[in-house]
Structure 1
Amino acid sequence: MSDSLALRFTRTIRARNGEVADALADTAGLTAWVRQNAADLGVDAGGFTASDSLRDEVVLLRQAVRALFARAVAPGEPSSADAARLPAFTEALAAVNAAAMAVPLAPQLDWPACSEPTVRVTPSAQVSEQVRLRATLARAAIEFLAGPERERLRACPAPRCVIYFIKEHTRQEWCSVTCGNRARAARHYQRHRDHL
């Protein structure tokens, strides 16, 4: 199963060599990430280049989404990457909703001569690519958090991991086999230390 856009967005913060790494740390990082996800974001991959102001806005939106993810995994622990720097829940909720509402959408009927009619949703007003990008990310988070996968959302408890993931089966505890091995090794080391 492919990860949703909302999960991929929150995973732009990762743990690398025991440190938190931010894929959106600069405009080049945001440009690369948007180009990799262009189809889901509705942008032209080749023509997109991030600005400093867009990067700042997207990072703030990501923090708001991560705050909502932290609430979704409660009473479990949130990701340790940025839990202390997340906005308050009401502030995060308002930010995500405002970003989503910045691009009003309208249903449009498509009815080709040789097939059945279909509905597509398009922006009902002209907005900049930057506003549309933020709105798409916010709507992806809203759809994810209001959908059935929210119940299976977890923050990986492995040492130094900062990933939110979807629990695929009842015995799954970590986001990956690597994190499971790291957690078991840390427990073994701690037990060995405690017996000395």
Structure 2
Amino acid sequence: MEESVIEQPAPTPAQGEEEHPSLALANSAMTLPGGHALDLLGTPAQTNHWLTQRGLAPVDAGMREMCAAQLRSLREQIRSLFAARAEGVPALPAAVTAINDAMTRVPTAPLLRWDDKTGPYRTAPHPTTAIVDLALATLAADAADLLTSPDAERLTACGSPPCNRFLLRHGRRHWCSTRCGDRARAARAYARRSKGA
């Protein structure tokens, strides 16, 4: 029996997610108002759907829980690095190692194979594990590129609690979405009114 993707309301992408899939990965688990959590990688089917939407896996990749768990683990390491960069604190060495490990798991060129009848040829493997390894390497490389680019100066956490998403700040905007910005402005207005009362 094939697992179906449960349709969840897709949040508006945070500023920078379109250019940086690693930012979209970091934001694939979020805390919503009222303490509700949303995990776009909660199941293998959801993970496959998320990867397919970004061109990182075919629709029929057949993700298993182990593959989804690897992606969720990389997400937490990337979130740790983004938080360290945004807060200006040292990164956890384990997070840096996880990114480097993910980037080096995939050969950068097709490997040499030898068929007894036709001779040598080059090819890249494509079983599900190779698809996941390639996706992990792509996302890790994007995170490394973002963290070492001039855009890293704009990397920040959403300024509207309880939201835990990251974004690339544009001007003075410190919110991942209009909804979070409205919530932060309403909270400030309420605080001003309460102080004056």
Q: Same fold (TM over 0.5)?
A: yes
**Matches for 1:1-196 after TM superposition, within 5 Å:** 2-18=18-34, 19-38=36-55, 41=56, 43-44=57-58, 46-75=59-88, 89-106=92-109, 126=125, 128-169=130-171, 171-196=172-197
Amino acid at match of 2:38: A
Specify the SS of the correspondent of 1:165. strand
How far residue 106 of structure 1 moved from its aligned partner, in angstroms, is 4.2
Measured against aligned partners, the alpha-carbon deviations of 1:68-108 in whole angstroms (never above 9, x if no partner) come to 000110149xxxxxxxxxxx71111111111111113149x
Deviation at 1:134, TM superposition (A): 1.3
Unaligned ranges ≥5, structure 2: 1-15, 111-121
Residues 1-28 of structure 1 show CA distances to partners (whole Å, capped at 9, x for unaligned) of 7331111111101233432211111112
Residue type of the partner of 2:67? L
With the length of structure 1 as denominator, give the TM-score of the two structures: 0.75
Aligned residue type for 1:153: L
- 1:103/1:124 contact within 8 Å kept: no
* Kept after mapping to 2: 8 A contact 1:105/1:124: no
By how many angstroms is 1:129 displaced? 1.8
Amino-acid identity (%): 32
Looking at structure 2, the residues matched to 31 and 142 of structure 1 have their Cα atoms a distance apart, in angstroms, of 23
CA distance in 2: counterparts of 1:50 and 1:126, whole angstroms = 16
CA shift, 1:125, in A, is 6.2
Task: Name the CA distance, whole Å, in 1 between partners of 2:53 and 2:169.
Answer: 25
Residue 116 of structure 1: aligned partner: none
Q: 2:33, 2:163 within 8 Å by CA — same for their partners in 1?
A: no
TM superposition shift of 1:148: 1.6
Contact 1:11 1:164 in 2 (8 A): yes
- How high is the TM-score relative to the length of structure 2? 0.74
Give the secondary structure class of the aligned counterpart of 2:31.
strand
Kept in 1, the 8 Å contact 2:155–2:167? The answer is yes
Deviation at 1:126, TM superposition (A): 4.2
> How many equivalent pairs are there?
165
Code of the residue aligned with 1:162 in structure 2: it is N
